[in-house]
Amino acid sequence: MSDIHHMAGHLIRRIHQISMSLFQERMKSVGVDLTSVQFAALSVLRENDGIDQATLAGLIAYDRATIGGVVDRLESKRFIKRETSKIDRRAKVLSLTPLGHGLLNQITPVVTALQPDILGGLSGAEKEQFLLLAERVATAGNSLSRAPLATKDKAP
């Protein structure tokens, strides 16, 4: 095996490929056309009704320059709505529609159920340890990201 097969970046990319493949396969199996980023956006909107696009981008650690496309697609599917902010007429706030709530109710159990499959080959204890370590690495490197994760109180 090449040295690349033992490098963190290469292994993380491969795990990401596995994760995306499983997510798409499971969404297709339930007849849903949704990406993992769209799922993340919907999930955050369920918990943070009325936030703007920049805040949404921060809360899912997604690039602010491209979050508009995600929002456009979710709006065109009628899962979210955009309205002018009552506080700042220049800003648009986002909220889930009843269709968006229904979709999340349908697919959240599917997404939850696929999580152990992403880390196939690990025992339950190893999966817990992996997640703790991955969270520690992501937290430590957050400021190095081109799209750092923001907390609600520190969102843009």
Tell me which H or E stretch contains 55: helix 53-59
| 97 located within any domain | yes
The pLDDT tens digits for 23-49 are 999 999 999 999 999 999 999 999 999
| 67 located within any domain | yes
CATH of the domain at 119: 1.10.10.10
| 27 located within any domain | no
Nearest of 21, 147, 43, 155 to residue 103 by alpha carbon: 43
The pLDDT tens digits for 75-125 are 999 999 999 888 888 888 999 999 999 999 999 999 999 999 999 999 999
Structural domain including 83 reads 34-144
Q: What is the mean pLDDT of the chain?
A: 94
Q: How confident is the model at residue 66 (pLDDT cuts 50, 70, 90)?
A: very high
Q: Compute the distance between CA of residue 69 and CA of residue 51 in angstroms, rounded to an integer.
A: 16
